[in-house]
Structure 1
C-alpha cells in the first residue's frame, strides 16, 4: 500500500491514470500525446505505477498496451474510506462504464493478481482437473497441447461442459492461450472469445495476468468482470493456504 500512496502522490501519475480511465489499453506513444513530457519521463512514471500494481501491461505484437488496474484503489477504499462512512466507491460502477464504452479490438478485460507460489504450481492449478474443481466449481479437461480441445465441466449437475474451446498456445509453466465459447454457440466465431494466462515468476511470488478479449457483447463483459476476480481470488487462497474459500465467491450477491 505504501507504493500505491507514493504513486498517487504525483500529479503526472494521477493524470496518466485518468487517461487510462478515459481510454483503457493505450500505448506509450498514445499516453505521451497528452502529457507535456519526454517519453523517457513518462516511461519512468509508468514503471512506478506498474510497481504499485495500479496498471498492468499486455504485449500485442510489437506494441505494449497499458491498462488501469482498480484492485489497489479498491483496497484503499475498504481500509481508508469505508470505515469513515464516506460514500462507497463502486467497482461495479467502473465496470459498467467500461461495458458501455464501444468495444474495440484491444483486450476487453485484464486482471492481475500476485500469488505466493511457483509458476509450476500456478500452471497446475489452471490445468489440473481436480485442482480446478476445488476452486472453480468445474474441471478443466484437456491434454493442453496446441490445437487440442479443452472443456470446463461443472462438478455439480449432470456433468455437462459449460465452456469449451481450443488450446491456441501452451508454454508450461508461463503462458496458456485458449479460445472460450458456450457449447451451445460452438462453431460461431462471433460468439467465441479468447483467454490468455501469463505467469511471471519473481523470486518467491508469481504474477498471474488473465486477459479476456474478443467478447461479443456488453453482457459478456459484465459477466466475466464479476467472475474472474472471484475465481482468481479462490485460486490464490487455495495455493497460499491449502484450501479454497468456504463459500463460492462468485455466488456472493452484488450490492
Structure 2
C-alpha cells in the first residue's frame, strides 16, 4: 500500500492515470503526447505506477500497451473510505468504475494478480482439467495446441459445456490466448470474445495478467470484472496454500 500512496503523490503520475482513465490501453508514445516531459522521464513515472500495480502492461506485437489497474484503488476505498462511510470522498470509487469502462469499439477488461508460484505451475493450473475443476468449478478441457478446440465443462456431472472456443496462441508456460463463446454461438466468430493469459516471472513470484477483449456489451464487461477477480483469487489460494478458498467467492452473499 505504501507504493500506491507514493505513486499517487506525484502530479505527473496522477496525470498519466487520468490519461489512461480517458483512454485505456495506450502506448508510451501516445502517453507522451500530452505530457510536457522527456520520454525517458515518462518511462520512469510509468515504472513507479507499474511497481505499485496501478498500471499493467500487455504486449501486442511490437507495441507495449498500458492499462489502468483499478484493484489498488478499490483496496484503498475499502480500507480507508467505505468503513468510515464518507460519501463525499467517493471519487476514488468513481475512478475505479470509470477505469473499467470500455475504451474501444467493444468493452475489454484487464486484471493483474501476483502469485507465489512458478510460471509452469500457473500454466498447469490454467490448463489442467482437474485443477481448474478444483478452483473454478468447471473443467478446462483441450490439448492446448494452437487451432484446437477447448471447452469449459461443468463438474456437476452434467457434462454440459458453458463456454467453448479455439486455442489461438499456446506458448507454455508464458502465454495462452483463447477465444470464448457460448455453445450456441460456436462457429459465429463475430460473437466470440478473446482471453489472453500472460504469465511472467516477477522476482521470486509470478505476475499473471488476464485480458478479456471484444466483450459484447457493458453487461458482459460487468460480468468479467466481477468474475475474473473471484476465479483468480481462488487459483491463487490453491497454488499458495494447496486448497481453494473455504467458500467459492462467487457464492458469497452480496457478491
Give the whole-Å Cα distance in 1 for the aligned partners of 2:215 and 2:85: 36
Give the whole-Å Cα distance in 2 for the aligned partners of 1:91 and 1:179: 33
Give the whole-Å Cα distance in 2 for the aligned partners of 1:208 and 1:171: 14
Once the two structures are TM-superposed, the CA of residue 94 in structure 1 deviates from its matched residue by 5.7
Partner of 1:173 in structure 2?
173
Give the whole-Å Cα distance in 2 for the aligned partners of 1:43 and 1:23: 18
Change (3 A) 1:21 1:248: same
Give the whole-Å Cα distance in 1 for the aligned partners of 2:236 and 2:90: 24
Give the whole-Å Cα distance in 1 for the aligned partners of 2:92 and 2:140: 29
- The count of corresponding residues between Structure 1 and Structure 2 is 254
Change (3 A) 1:76 1:99: closer
Once the two structures are TM-superposed, the CA of residue 15 in structure 1 deviates from its matched residue by 1.1
Partner of 2:77 in structure 1?
77
Query: Cα RMSD (Å) of the superposition?
Result: 2.2
Query: TM-score if structure 2 supplies the norm length?
Result: 0.92
Once the two structures are TM-superposed, the CA of residue 185 in structure 1 deviates from its matched residue by 0.7
Partner of 1:15 in structure 2?
15
Give the whole-Å Cα distance in 1 for the aligned partners of 2:93 and 2:149: 33
Partner of 1:113 in structure 2?
113
Give the whole-Å Cα distance in 1 for the aligned partners of 2:91 and 2:208: 24
Give the whole-Å Cα distance in 2 for the aligned partners of 1:93 and 1:227: 20
Give the whole-Å Cα distance in 2 for the aligned partners of 1:92 and 1:201: 31
Partner of 1:125 in structure 2?
125
Once the two structures are TM-superposed, the CA of residue 103 in structure 1 deviates from its matched residue by 3.5
Question: 1:155-213 CA deviation, whole Å, 9 max, x = no partner?
Answer: 12622000011111111111111111110111111210111111101232000001111
Query: TM-score if structure 1 supplies the norm length?
Result: 0.92
Give the whole-Å Cα distance in 2 for the aligned partners of 1:2 and 1:144: 40
Partner of 2:4 in structure 1?
4
